[in-house]
């Protein structure tokens, strides 16, 4: 019997400049935090390209960026769990999927997904 891919569970946490919490204008990056209860599921880690260029003043800078191989799809929600009626049976979940485009001889493949119904729809976005 063939085994499927190993799925890594975890969550993404924003990194803030100067330690400010929840100031979206102050986000400097994102950190992956592994955990069995995490709602982000990674099937294949992204491929990155490293390079060097210069800024507008001619100073050298290095960069890491994804190779333009990925597309995302979303199935949104307009209200969160806390606004959902108690009479609603099995409300839909917010879902984002990431798919890697065909790469060399490798076919397109879903590589990550997130599916949950947070208390507030703003958490999803």
User: pTM of the entire structure?
Assistant: 0.66
107: tokens are 């076919």
Distance of alpha carbon 47 from alpha carbon 3, whole angstroms? 23
Predicted confidence (pLDDT) per residue in 103-118, tens digit? 888 899 999 998 877 6
Predicted confidence (pLDDT) per residue in 13-70, tens digit? 888 887 666 677 788 888 889 999 998 999 988 887 777 777 778 877 777 777 788 9
């Amino acid at each position: 019997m063939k085994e499927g891919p190993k799925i890594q569970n975890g969550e993404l946490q924003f990194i803030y400049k100067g330690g400010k919490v929840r100031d979206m204008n102050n986000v400097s990056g994102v950190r992956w935090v592994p955990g069995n209860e995490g709602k982000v599921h990674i099937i294949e880690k992204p491929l990155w390209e490293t390079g060097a260029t210069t800024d507008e003043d001619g100073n050298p800078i290095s960069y890491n960026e994804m190779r333009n191989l990925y597309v995302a799809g979303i199935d949104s929600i307009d209200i969160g769990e806390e606004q959902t009626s108690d009479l609603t049976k099995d409300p839909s979940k917010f879902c984002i999927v990431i798919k890697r485009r065909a790469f060399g001889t490798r076919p397109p493949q879903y590589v990550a997904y997130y599916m949950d119904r947070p208390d507030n729809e703003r958490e999803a976005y």
